[in-house]
Structure 1
Amino acid sequence: MDQKRLLTSAVGCLAAVLMLSSCGPIPNSVHSIKELSSNTLFTPFSGRSPKHLDPTSSYSSDETPFTYSIYEPLYQYHYLKRPYQLIPRTAAAVPAPIFLDKEGNVLPEDAPADKVALSIYEIPIKKGILFAPHPAFAKDEKGNYVNHHLSEEVTKKLRNPLDLPNKGTRELVAEDYVYAIKRLTNPRIISPIYGTIVSHLPGLEKLAAQVREYDKQLRANLPASQRDLPFLDLRKFELEGVSAPESHLLRIEVKGKYPQFPNWLAMTFFAPIPWEAEAFYAQRGMAKNNLSLNYWPVGTGPYQLVESIENRRHVMQRNPLFRKTELYPCEGEPGDKEKGYLEDCGKPLPFIDRIEISAEKESVPLRTKFLQGYYDSPQIERLDNGQGFLIGMADSKEKEEEYKNKKLQFPKVIEDHNTYFGFNWLDPVIGEGATPEQKEKNRKLRQAIAIAMDWEEYIQIFEKGLATPAHGPLPPGLFGHNPEGSAGFNPYVYNKLEDGTVIRKSLEEAKTLLAEAGYPDGRNLKTGKPLVLSLDFQAAASPGTKAVLDWYQKQFAKLGIQLDIRATDYNRFQDKV
C-alpha cells in the first residue's frame, strides 16, 4: 500500500519537516526527525520476537510479516481480486498440471480423480531474479567462497551476519526450490506440513529415511547437547519426483489428483533456500550467537532483515537487488477504482524503503503511541485491531470525534479463521486412549467438555458478538462450508429442534457423559479423587488475560473438573505444541 495512504494519525509537524526542515523534535517522540522524514513504516509487535523465520518451519502469523517480505514462493495471491486468485511470483506462469493414469497415459484436464495416478507440475522460473546481498554468496577472484571457513575468533564475536565486509549474490534457479523441498525431511528442522505433504510427494518418505541416517552419522561422535552441527548437505541426495530438468524449470510429481497443491506453492514452506546459506550458518560458533535462518533469513524478496535485537526491535530494509518489474496491479474488484485502490497502477513495488518493528508489551501504551503518531499501524500482522477502535467510538462521542479528526480509516473485511481447544491425543485421560473401552470413555469426556464450554457466552463477553460458534472445521465464507448439511450442524454438542433452531445440549447431558466416562461429578469413580486437567495457554498470565482464563476455569467447574492453567509466552507454547 502506498505510504501516503497508510493507516496513521496526522502529524502536522512532520509535514513541515518534509517541506521546510524547520520543525524541531516532536515532544516525547521515540523517533528522530530524520527517521520521521524517511520513507519508513513504524509498527509494533507484542509479546516476544518471532520464533521461526526459517520458512521450512515458520507457520505463525507473527512471523509472516518477515517471511513473506524476505522469501518468495513460486506463486502469490492477487492483491485486490476476490475470491483469491493465484498469480505468478517468481514463477513465469501458473501452469495447469498434466494428469497421468497408472500406465503413464496422459489424461484430459477434467479426468475423474480416481483415474489419476500422478499429477505433474512443470513450472518455469523467471530469469534474472537475484538473492539479496549476503556474506554466504561472497567469492574471491578464483571463485572460492570467502565466508564459508570463518575462524571461531570471528564467529564468536559476530552478532549480525551483514557486519561481515564481503557480500555477494547469485541468480535464483530451480534447484533452490528443489533444495527447499528436500529440507522438509531434515530431522534438525521441525516442519509443520511434513505430515500432510509426505502423502502427496512420492519420494519424500524415502528421502526422509536416508537423511535421518546420514544425520546420525554426522552426529555420531558429538555430544547430544552440541549446537554446532556439521553441514547436512542435501545436494547429496535425489528426491524422487522433484527435479530441475533445466536451470529455470521446476518439475514436481504429485500423487493422484490434488487440486490444492498449487496453493501450497504460494506458502513459504516452498520458498527457495540457497544451499550456501545453510553451509554458511553451519560453521562453528554460529549457533551460539543465534546465527541461522531462524534469525537471519536469506531470500529474493523485496526486503532483507538488516537489524535484529531480540524482544526489542527488528528492521527490514529494501533489498537493493530486488527487480523493478514487480508492479502494483491495475485491476481489481468492482468499486476498487472509486475507492482509490488503483491510483498506484503500474508503480514499482515495494513503496516503502524501511520497516521498523518494535516491541510493545502492553496494549494501552501501544494504542496511545499509535494515536500520537509514533506508529503507522497498531499491529501489522493483525486484522482485528480496528474492532477495538470501533467499539471505543460506539461507547464514546469524544473518541469518535478524535478518531475522525485524526482521519483514521476502518475498512471492514470478513476474516475467516477458527479459535479452538485442542486435546493432546497422546494424553491417557483425554487423548485417543489405548483400548477400545478407554477410547470410548475418553471420547465421552471430551464431548462433555465440549458441551459445557458455552462459546455463545464467550462470544458475547469477549468478542462483542462479532463471531459465531463453529459447527465444523470450515468457517462460513470458505469453500466447502455447507450450512445446510452435516458440516453446518454439530450433533455431538447441539440439538436441532423441529423448527430448525439449533441449541447447545444441556449441562445435564454433559454430566451424564462425564459419569459414563468414569468421572461422576468430576471425580474418579474408582479412587474418588477430583479430575484435574491442565491447559497450556499461549500467552503469559496478565491483567488482560485474567478474565478469559477465569472464564475457562468456570466452564470446567460446571462439571466439577479442576482446570490447572499453565500460561506461557507464545514462543514457548509453540515448542510445547
Structure 2
Amino acid sequence: MRPAAHKAGGVVVCEIRILDVMRRGFARAAGLAALLGAFSLTVAAQTAQPTKTLRYSFRVAETGFDPAQISDRYSKTVAAGIFEAPLEFAYLARPYQLRPSTAAAMPEISEDFKTLTFRIKPGIYFSDDPAFGGKKRELTAADYIYSIKRHYDPALNSRNLYLLENVQILGLSELRKELMAAKKPFDYDREVEGLQLLDRYTFRVKLGVGDPRFINQFADSAFLGAMAREVVEYYGEKKIMEHPVGTGPYRLAEWRRSSRIVLEKNPNYREELYDEQPPADADPVLKAQAAKLKGRRLPLTERVEIAIIEENQPRWLSFLRHEADVLEEVPSEYVSIATPNGKLAPNLAKEGMRSVRFPYPEVAFSYFNMEDPVVGGYTPEKVALRRAISLAVDIDKEIRLPRRGQAIPAQGPFGPGTFGYRPDYKSEMSEYNLPKAKALLDLYGYVDKNGDGWRDLPDGKPLVIEYATQPDSQSRQLIEQWQKNMDALGVRIEFKTAKWPENLKSANAGKLMMWGVSWVATAPDGDTFLALGDGRAKGQANKSRFDLPAYNELYQKQKLLPNGPERQALMEQAAKLMIAYMPYKITVHRLFTDLAQPWVIGFDRNVFIRDFWQYVDIDTEQLKKQQAR
C-alpha cells in the first residue's frame, strides 16, 4: 500500500505535517499517524482492483492432488489447474483439437507411432515453494521423465499405470518388476530405453506398442503433469498429496479436506493470451464474449473457491442466492425448474444467466467384483446370477425417477462423443425383463430353499448382495430403485454407506462386492471405456477385476489400429464379451446442464478440460451491483 500512498499529493502533505507534529509531542503525533494510516488505507482501497474470484462447488469430496496417486474426477480437476502436461485441448474448438501447452510445438511422431519426441518451451517456471530454496525453478524435459516414472513406482500404487503399460514404454515395466522382486525402492536415476533425455528441453518416449491415440494422454495434466523431484523429496511421498507444486496458472492456497479448496493465481505463470475460437454454430453470446476476451492475459480468473456440497438442494440454493458463480451439472431434480423443455427458465433468463446443456462422454454403472465369492467368477451359474440381476434393473424407471429424465439408456461401454460409440447400437445391456431374470435364476438353482421368501445360493447358503453407496440424496434415490428391483427378483440386498473417498479406497483394494459409479473419458476415444475390462488394469480403471483372455486380446488389438471400420469392429466384439459376462451393469449416459451467473464471461463446457477457470472472466462491476441489492 505504501507505494500507492506516495502517489497521492495529500498523503505527502500529511507526512510533512507528521514530522512537524513529532517535534511538538509524541501524543499528538501518534493521533495523526493513526489518521494517516486510515487515510492511506482508503486511498489504497479506492485504487486497488478487486480480485476476480470464481466460486462453485463439488458434489463429491477430493482425495488429494498428486497426479501419480489420484484417479477420481474431483481431485484431478484441482490438479489440472496446478500442473501442466505438454499438450492441451483447445477450450472452445469443436471438434476437439489438441494443441501445445508447455511444448514448443506438437511432438514429432514416427510413422509406426512408437516414438514421440517433445520439445518444451524454455522460460516456464514452477510456482515458488520452500523446496526450491528461494530460487526460481525452471521446467525442463527431465521433469516429464521423472513424472512418468513416478507412475511405475510401486510405493505410489498409481491407478493410471495401465495407460502407460498398455503401450509398453521400453524398459520401465521391466525395471518395476525387477525392483519389486528385489524388494528395493524404485530407482528414478536408472536410465531406460523408453525415456530419453536429449537435451535440457527435449525428451523422447519410445514404445513397444504403437498406439495412434497415445498422444492424447499428454494432454491430461492431472495424469502426466510435470512434477519437480525436489518437491516430492522435500515433502515425502505421503505429504505430497497435500503440497502440489506445478507450473500451471494456479497454486493451492487453502485446503480444508472434504470442505473447501482455494486456488490462487500462480505469480510465476508465463504470459499466455486468450485466443479461443468458438465454432461457427456456437451461441452468439459466447461468440461475442470470446471476441471481447481475445488478447487478454491468462488466467482471467485470479482466484477459485471450491466448496464441497454433497447434497443437491444446498448446491442448488447456493447458486440461486448468488453464492456460486457457476453451477456445474444442475442436480437432476432441479433441471425441469432451471431449463423446462430444454430452455432456460424465464426468471433465470431475465437475470441474464446462461445455460449449457450437453451429453457427457461417460458411462454410469454398477460393477460386480469378479473376485467376490458370491457375485464373481466365470462359471455358468455365476454369469447367470449377474445377468439375472442386470435383467431385473428397470433402467427406464431409473431415468424417470432419480435421474429426472436427464439420461439415455446405455447399450454398451462407450460414452457419447467418443470413437466407438454408435447411437444406433442396441444390446441386451439395457434390457429389462423380470420374468426372464427369474427364469434364469431358477434354471441355475438360485431358489428359496428354506422358505423365508428369499432366493438362496445353489449350495443352499443365503444369497445376500452387498452394495456400496454414499450418504447423499442422489445415491439414496438410486439405491431405492435397486431395493425395489431386487425385492421383485427375490434377492436380498444390503447397502453399505460410506463417504465417496472411503468407497474408492475399498474399491481399489477389491473389498467391495458391488458399487455404483461412473467413468468419464479424458479424450474423445472409447479406449478408456474398454480399459474397464482390461485384466492388466485390475484395481486401477478395472474396479470389477474382470480378467478374460479373449477380451484382453481384443483390447490390445484395437489399440494398434487407426480409427476406422476395422477398429470399430474389434471394439464392438470386446463390448459383446463384456455384455455377455456382465462384470458391469452399465445403465445410462447422463445428460447435464450447467448454469452461469450473468457476470461470468466466456463460460462453456469442454468435457476434456477440467480447469475451465482460466478461460472465464468475472465482470466485477456487475457482481458488485448484484451484491448491493
Deviations 1:59-106 (CA, angstroms, capped at 9, x unpaired): 22212331111000111001111111111111111234113xxxxxxx
1:169 alignment counterpart = 136
SS in structure 2 of the partner of residue 129 of structure 1: coil
CA distance in 2, matches of 1:357, 1:186: 31
Query: Where in structure 2 are the equivalents of 1:104-503 lying within 5 Å?
Result: 116=112, 119-138=114-133, 167-200=134-167, 201-212=169-180, 216-217=183-184, 234-267=187-220, 268-282=222-236, 292-324=239-271, 326-336=272-282, 338-339=284-285, 340=288, 341-378=290-327, 382=328, 384-385=329-330, 389-393=334-338, 400-433=345-378, 439-484=379-424, 488-491=425-428, 493=429
Q: CA deviation at 1:386?
A: 7.1
Q: CA deviation at 1:424?
A: 0.6
Tell me which of 461, 470, 484 is aligned to 1:554: 484
1:501 alignment counterpart = none
CA distance in 2, matches of 1:426, 1:83: 40
Change beyond 3 A, Cα 1:480–1:401: closer
CA distance in 1, matches of 2:504, 2:314: 27
Deviations 1:442-482 (CA, angstroms, capped at 9, x unpaired): 11111111111111211111222232211111134322223
| Counterpart AA for 1:38 | T
Say if 2:249 and 2:269, in contact at 8 Å, map to a contact too: yes
Greater mean deviation of Cα atoms: 32-41 or 332-341:
32-41
Which stretches in structure 1 are left out of the alignment for 5+ residues?
1-31, 100-115, 139-166, 219-231, 434-438, 495-503
CA distance in 1, matches of 2:76, 2:66: 11
CA distance in 2, matches of 1:570, 1:60: 10
CA distance in 2, matches of 1:554, 1:421: 16
Deviations 1:100-130 (CA, angstroms, capped at 9, x unpaired): xxxxxxxxxxxxxxxx4x6110111111100
1:223 alignment counterpart = none
| Counterpart AA for 2:192 | L
CA distance in 2, matches of 1:332, 1:197: 33
SS in structure 1 of the partner of residue 467 of structure 2: strand
2:467 alignment counterpart = 535
Say if 2:311 and 2:473, in contact at 8 Å, map to a contact too: no
Say if 1:530 and 1:561, in contact at 8 Å, map to a contact too: no
1:15 alignment counterpart = none
CA distance in 2, matches of 1:258, 1:47: 33
CA distance in 2, matches of 1:442, 1:202: 39
Matched, 1:78 2:90: yes
Change beyond 3 A, Cα 1:366–1:549: same
2:445 alignment counterpart = 518
CA distance in 2, matches of 1:315, 1:35: 21
Which stretches in structure 2 are left out of the alignment for 5+ residues?
1-44, 449-453, 508-629
TM-score (norm 2): 0.67
CA distance in 2, matches of 1:342, 1:297: 34
1:436 alignment counterpart = none
Deviations 1:134-166 (CA, angstroms, capped at 9, x unpaired): 11111xxxxxxxxxxxxxxxxxxxxxxxxxxxx
Q: How many residues align?
A: 451
CA distance in 1, matches of 2:464, 2:331: 38
Identity %: 28
Say if 1:185 and 1:211, in contact at 8 Å, map to a contact too: no
SS in structure 2 of the partner of residue 420 of structure 1: strand
Matched, 1:39 2:52: yes
CA distance in 2, matches of 1:281, 1:213: 27
Deviations 1:237-296 (CA, angstroms, capped at 9, x unpaired): 2233112111111100122320110011111221111110111012xxx95xxxx22111
Q: CA deviation at 1:335?
A: 4.0
The structure where helix makes up a greater share of residues is 2
CA distance in 1, matches of 2:475, 2:209: 46
Say if 1:534 and 1:566, in contact at 8 Å, map to a contact too: yes
TM-score (norm 1): 0.73
CA distance in 2, matches of 1:238, 1:550: 54
Q: CA deviation at 1:387?
A: 5.6
Change beyond 3 A, Cα 1:34–1:315: farther
Say if 2:128 and 2:268, in contact at 8 Å, map to a contact too: yes
CA distance in 2, matches of 1:306, 1:199: 36
Change beyond 3 A, Cα 1:363–1:547: closer
Say if 1:73 and 1:271, in contact at 8 Å, map to a contact too: yes
Say if 1:182 and 1:239, in contact at 8 Å, map to a contact too: no
CA distance in 2, matches of 1:46, 1:264: 26
Say if 1:81 and 1:332, in contact at 8 Å, map to a contact too: yes
CA distance in 2, matches of 1:250, 1:518: 59
Q: CA deviation at 1:318?
A: 0.5
CA distance in 2, matches of 1:64, 1:83: 23
1:28 alignment counterpart = none
1:152 alignment counterpart = none
Say if 1:175 and 1:247, in contact at 8 Å, map to a contact too: yes
CA distance in 2, matches of 1:173, 1:517: 61
| Counterpart AA for 1:374 | E
SS in structure 2 of the partner of residue 250 of structure 1: strand
Query: Where in structure 2 are the equivalents of 1:22-61 lying within 5 Å?
Result: 37-48=50-61, 50-61=62-73
SS in structure 1 of the partner of residue 78 of structure 2: helix
Change beyond 3 A, Cα 1:457–1:517: same
**Any runs of at least 4 consecutive aligned residues in structure 1 with deviations exceeding 6 A, and if so which?**
32-36
Change beyond 3 A, Cα 1:206–1:309: same
Say if 1:245 and 1:251, in contact at 8 Å, map to a contact too: yes
Q: CA deviation at 1:207?
A: 1.7
Say if 2:90 and 2:276, in contact at 8 Å, map to a contact too: no
| Counterpart AA for 1:172 | L
Q: CA deviation at 1:363?
A: 3.1
Change beyond 3 A, Cα 1:327–1:375: same
Change beyond 3 A, Cα 1:330–1:472: closer
Change beyond 3 A, Cα 1:54–1:394: closer
Say if 1:202 and 1:253, in contact at 8 Å, map to a contact too: yes
Q: CA deviation at 1:186?
A: 1.1
Q: CA deviation at 1:416?
A: 2.3
CA distance in 1, matches of 2:442, 2:249: 58
CA distance in 2, matches of 1:449, 1:68: 38
CA distance in 2, matches of 1:235, 1:172: 18
Change beyond 3 A, Cα 1:395–1:89: closer
Deviations 1:204-233 (CA, angstroms, capped at 9, x unpaired): 21121244357x446xxxxxxxxxxxxx6x
Tell me which of 502, 509, 519 is aligned to 2:436: 509
Change beyond 3 A, Cα 1:544–1:194: closer
